[in-house]
Amino acid sequence: MTVLVFSENLDVALELLGKGRELANDLNVKLGGILLGQNVKTSASELIAHGADVVYVVDDPLLAEFYPETYSDAMLSVVNQANPEILLIGATKRGKELAPRVATKLNTGCAAAATNLRIDKEKKQLIAERPAVSAMVVATEFSRTKPQMATVPPRTFEKPPRDDSRQGEVLEVKAEISKVDKKIIELKKKEVKGIKIEEAELITSCGRGFRKKEDIKLLEELANLIGATIGCSRPIAADLKWLPEDHWVGLSGHKVKPKMYMAVGISGQVQHLAGMRDSKIIVAINKDPEAPIFKVADYGIVGDLYQVLPAMIDYLKGKKG
């Protein structure tokens, strides 16, 4: 009996191992990692060093490219061999395609985009919490069938520390994988300028408080002075098209977890808060003292951003000078 974790993204898989270790300890079972693909066995030592007791590997040329049909076949073979109590899958774009297929084939439930996981020790049951109704409420879910499944968004849990002294078992699984009548003709890597917003440690975000697109240069100047990445709320990217969607922070955009998040001219609707509420320090600048953003902010400035930002820029330039 095991707790199993999987993501095609190694960093996300390691984050899942951190929470998976807590769940496995509460159930007194082993923690397992899953590797699916071609020539992926070399990553097994990385999973073991970050907490896995056993790593199940399906290494097959049919998994060289990601197709939800082939990857779900491979995942089912692992589940049949490992008989897990719990199966966690990273809620990446590929994970979101894979998890519902696996859950359907296993005839089990799956808590989508869980932000917290714990064990009901009396019932030996996984309890998942996830935002619902546009992140206005937190839903608590559990499954009566096994394996108990949940998907977890990236950066929800901390990656455990690496321990190269750990020992683990690597098991190769022979999977029955059906060929698919599909072919990937070409893959083009999406061009991202600068740091990916999900990876940024400092973020300054703009909202509808900015009157014109050109005014965002004020925020960019401040961001350059402190080494921050520019973010924005939904209207700036989706409605006004002032910034690309790569900068969009929110429930339907990107979820971020920086050391500092500065919301400038952002009222703080629940959809935006869902994407940045886990920031370690939240700074809000808004002329409306009743703006919802102040309820989650660690530091707040009630004032006109067209006065506050220039003052901050002048101060920082003076400090650097």
Q: CB under 8 Å to 238, separation ≥6 — which residues?
A: 245, 248
Residues 158 and 9 in one domain: yes
Are 158 and 203 members of one domain? no
Parent domain of 253: 197-320
Instruction: Kindly state whether residues 168 and 304 are assigned to the same domain.
Output: no
Cα–Cα distance measured from residue 133 to residue 135, given in angstroms and rounded to the nearest whole number? 5
The total of other beta-carbon atoms located within 10 Å of residue 96's CB is 16
Say whether both 56 and 165 belong to one domain.
yes
Does residue 180 sit within a domain? no
CATH code for the domain of 257: 3.40.50.1220
Residue 279, both tokens: 């920031």
Domain CATH for 145 = 3.40.50.620
Q: How many domains does the structure of the chain reveal?
A: 2
Q: Is residue 131 situated within a structural domain?
A: yes
3-state SS assignment for residue 216: helix
**Residue 227 class from Cβ within 10 Å (0-12 exposed, 13-18 middle, 19+ buried)?**
exposed
**pTM (2 d.p.):** 0.82
Q: 117 and 202 share a domain?
A: no
In a domain, 191, yes or no: no
Integer Cα distance of 155 and 79 in angstroms: 25
pLDDT 10s digit of each residue in the chain, 321 long? Answer: 899 999 999 999 999 999 999 999 999 999 999 999 999 999 999 999 999 999 999 999 999 999 999 999 999 999 999 999 999 999 999 999 999 999 999 999 999 999 999 999 999 999 999 988 766 788 999 999 999 999 999 888 999 999 999 999 999 999 999 999 888 888 888 776 667 899 899 999 999 999 999 999 999 999 999 999 999 999 999 999 999 999 999 988 898 999 999 999 999 998 899 899 889 999 999 999 999 999 999 999 999 999 999 999 999 998 876
CA-based nearest residue to 261, from 278, 246, 286, 282: 282
Same domain flag for 257 and 133: no
CA–CA distance, 249 with 273 (Å, rounded to integer): 9
The residue from 156, 172, 188 where one domain ends is: 172
The verdict on 153 and 206 lying in the same domain is no
- DSSP string for residues in 288-309: -TT-THHHH-SEEEES-HHHHH
Residue 83 lies in a domain: yes
Q: Is residue 177 part of a domain?
A: no
pLDDT for 202 equals 97
Pure H helices in 90-136: 93-106
Is 187 part of any domain?
Answer: no
| CA pair distance 193, 286, nearest whole angstrom | 28
